[in-house]
Amino acid sequence: MASLPKTMKALRYEKPEVWGIVDVPLPTLRPGDVLIKVKACGVCGTDLHIHEGEFIAEFPLIPGHETIGEVVGFSDDVKGFKIGDRVAADNSELCGHCFYCRRGEELLCEDFKAHGVLGLDGGFAEYCSYPQGRLFKINNLSDVDATLIEPASCAMHGLEKIAPKPGSHALLIGAGPTGLMMAQFLYLTVLHRKHSGVSQLTIAAPGGPKMDLAKSLDAADKYVALDRKDATPQWEQIKKDNPYGFDIVVEASGSAKVLEDAINYVRRGGKLVCYGVYPSAARVSWPPSKIFGDEITIIGSFSETFMFPATVDYLDSGKVKTKGIVNKTFKLEQWGEALESIRNKSAIKAAIVFD
User: Could you report the per-residue pLDDT of 115-133, keeping only the tens digit for each?
Assistant: 999 999 999 999 999 999 9
Question: How many C-beta atoms lie closer than 10 Å to residue 126's C-beta?
Answer: 18
Q: Do domains 7-147+326-353 and 153-300 have the same CATH topology?
A: no
> What is the average per-residue pLDDT within 21-32?
97
Please provide the size of the chain in residues.
Answer: 355
For CA atoms 249, 250, 252, 255, the dihedral sign is positive
Q: What are the residue boundaries of the structural domains of the chain, listed by start?
A: 7-147+326-353, 153-300
Q: What does the pLDDT look like over 245-304, one tens digit per residue?
A: 999 999 999 999 999 999 999 999 999 999 988 888 899 999 999 999 999 999 999 888
For residue 101, what are the CA distances in angstroms to 25, 111, 112, 308?
32, 10, 10, 18
**CA 266/CA 260 separation, integer angstroms:** 12
> What is the average per-residue pLDDT within 44-70?
93
Task: Tell me which CATH code domain 153-300 carries.
Answer: 3.40.50.720
Q: What does the pLDDT look like over 76-101, one tens digit per residue?
A: 999 999 999 999 999 999 999 999 99
- Do residues 106 and 94 touch, judged by C-beta distance below 8 A? yes
- pLDDT higher than threshold 80 for residue 195: no
Task: Tell me which CATH code domain 7-147+326-353 carries.
Answer: 3.90.180.10
**CA 325/CA 297 separation, integer angstroms:** 31
Would the pTM of this model clear 0.75, i.e. be above it? yes
Among the listed residues 176, 174, 143, the one whose alpha carbon sits nearest the alpha carbon of residue 42: 143
